[in-house]
Amino acid sequence: MSAPSKTRLAWLDRFKAPTPDDLLAPFNKQSSALIDHTRQKLRSVDGVKEDLGWHGVWNWTFSFRVPGEERPWAYLIPDPARPRVSIPVMDEMIPDLPVRKLSKFVRDGLTHAPLVDGVRWASWDLLSKTQADEIVSLAQLRLKLAIAER
């Protein structure tokens, strides 16, 4: 008698590229809808291209790029235990952002983000469409600043 095989989550399998549907399969209907909503909002920004790639500690992750940017502008991490969004923000941009106008949820994410080589790697758990929209608004502000600095 053979032992039952363990099915590995698509999100964890580095050697098999998943489809977006594979990544969303472990989520319940509500979480899947929230991830889809966030992806749609991030893709709706002019010039943004969505990619699906292996990003080390984040495993398979959606990244969103805009022309002229060195690194992705945003990441959507479909971790079945804790889906989240990460927006890398250059530390020098923080004073130019309207931080006081941002919600406490978004402000706290920026304030407590790890700083690595001049970049604040802010990330937020995806909890609601309202909060996802606030995160996308910050990402759009960050993008406008980056374009203005070129």
Distance CA 101, CA 90 (A): 19
2 or 10: which leads in pLDDT: 10
Give the pLDDT of residue 150: 67
Q: What is the pLDDT of residues 43-96, one digit of tens each?
A: 998 889 999 999 999 999 999 998 888 889 999 999 999 999 999 999 999 999
Whole-number percent of the chain with pLDDT over 70: 95
Q: What is the pLDDT of residues 112-130, one digit of tens each?
A: 999 999 999 999 999 999 9
Give the pLDDT of residue 99: 83
DSSP state of 17: P
Question: Euclidean distance between the first and final Cα of the chain, in Å?
Answer: 65
Architecture of 20-149 per CATH?
Alpha-Beta Complex (3.90)
Q: pLDDT averaged over the chain?
A: 91
Give the pLDDT of residue 72: 93
Give the pLDDT of residue 63: 97
Distance CA 76, CA 85 (A): 5
Give the pLDDT of residue 8: 76
Give the pLDDT of residue 6: 60
